[in-house]
Structure 1
Amino acid sequence: MKQKTRIEILERLKAHIKDPTTELIYHTPFELLIAVLLSAQATDVSVNKATKSLFAVANTPEAMLALGVESLKEYIRTIGLFNSKAQNIIKTCQILITQHHSEVPEDFAHLVALPGVGRKTANVVLNTAFGWPTIAVDTHIFRLCNRTGFACGKTVEAVEDKLLQVVPADYKINCHHWFILHGRYTCIARKPRCGSCVIEDLCEFKDKVYPE
């Protein structure tokens, strides 16, 4: 894909998706970190439902640690992989308290060192909570970038590296949110809604789907 086409795609998504941000509900970097940890293989809707009750009683590392694994499980039981997520969250809280003065570190290496935190979670926190020009790549963005031809790669890291190379600096802050929202609601996995897509004519996908 030519660079001028990429910029046109970004401009159209910018015009179409106003004030892009995560659909996870949070008020602090710590709440965002926990919400993103819970969102793996789960919908944002299910996470928001669980964290509404959870954050009402524990929205700091100390309060979360005081809950303990078993009590935490009761708040997140409706979310997939809740057993392992509860254990990772409690371990993460311990590390935040003992190593980071109960603050979420604004540092990629320190973030990925936390239990259950991978590249995507770290990049989401850095981008959304701290305003870093990082581009987190999840399944939606991986699919969209390969399908459209915007940034092709066989792995999540390859797509992330390509995006960081081709996305101009002015667009990097919001790129993740534009792509994830477009991938979640328009360029969906099985039957992409090409007929209502604002970048349909710029997309290189050969098997476009249109309503009959």
Structure 2
Amino acid sequence: MKRQTPAYSWALVDADGTLFDFQRAEAIALEITPTQLSVSAPRQFADTFHAINAELWQAFEAGLLSARDVRTQRFRRVFEVLGLPGDPHVFSEAYLQNLIKESTFLEGAERFLQRITSRVGLVLLTNGFADVQHARIARLGLSDVFDHVVISEEVGVSKPHPGVFDIAFDRMGNPAKHDVLILGDSLSSDIRGGFDYGIDTCWYNPQQHVNTTNLTPTYEIRDLNEAAAILVRQAADHD
């Protein structure tokens, strides 16, 4: 007889790009928000936003900016670069509301959570904005799924900094590091953070991006079913 037993006791799981289809929601929000606010967005609007947004989030991960800085600066800079009229703060808040409304699971994410919930402890570990992440968790019916939710904006430190892992481990009751796996799509925050902290890492890479870093994840997967199999392995029942 076979039963499923946990290979790990805890999983630290990223949100955007791992569980939530952020790219889809972002694309829709960038398309509909200008129309809602009567902002005449030029063709290069999305590309300009992506470039500025990536730069600011990189500075955030490096500890040079706060989440609030990212939130307030990115559309202000987009409006300045493109010479757009209007209030970038109003635009930003409308964009985030649209982002929440368009939140969906990535393919396989809901099934992944169903497979591992109650078998391993689950911590959502995210660098996203606190109000947005809480709203998306509620919208997708995940309020009772996670044992703990650690959001960088709320705790004052972000991935890949070891401080956010200290906080997560404290909330988990300080398990042994070999009992914890981090799962995420970002080499620079999820995998770098886990590697530096000394825990096993699982890089979710469905698009098969080339790893140009000096990091070697413990696991690299294309499908979240693979992550579930890693977290809950098949073992013989000798009871």
User: Which TM-score applies when normalising by structure 2?
Assistant: 0.26
Where relative contact order (Cα < 8 A, 6+ residues apart) is larger, the structure is: 2
Query: Which protein is richer in strand relative to its size?
Result: 2
Query: Which protein is richer in helix relative to its size?
Result: 1
User: Which TM-score applies when normalising by structure 1?
Assistant: 0.29
